[in-house]
Amino acid sequence: MRISAVLGAVAGVLAGIVLFVNAMIEQRYVEGFVTLLLAPILYGLIGALVNAFMAWVYNAVAARLGGIELFFEE
């Protein structure tokens, strides 16, 4: 979950920069700064929650269907 949050935050920084530049071009300064601050937080939080939910769904389905088994030979 922590990795999902970090990756989401990194994506949020990139999206925030793009949206910030767009807002600056359109002279919406306050919106640009708010977006630059909130995008990494929201992307990280939502990304972590979605991935945690998907892990829960996988575990519930794997318990019924058997999941994935790997066998290794030395």
pLDDT of residue 63: 85
In a domain, 57, yes or no: yes
In a domain, 74, yes or no: no
Asked if residue 2 has pLDDT above 80, the reply is: yes
Residue 7 belongs to domain spanning: 2-63
User: What is the pTM for the complete model shown?
Assistant: 0.73
Task: Kindly report, residue by residue over 12-65, the tens digit of the pLDDT.
Answer: 999 999 999 999 999 999 999 999 999 999 999 999 999 999 999 989 998 888
For the chain, the domain total comes to 1
What one-letter code names the amino acid at 70? L
Tokens of 24: 């600056």
pLDDT of residue 1: 83
In a domain, 51, yes or no: yes
Burial (0-12, 13-18, 19+ Cβ within 10 Å), 16: buried
pLDDT of residue 67: 73
In a domain, 42, yes or no: yes
Distances (CA, A) of 60 to 25, 32, 57, 65, 68: 48, 41, 5, 9, 13
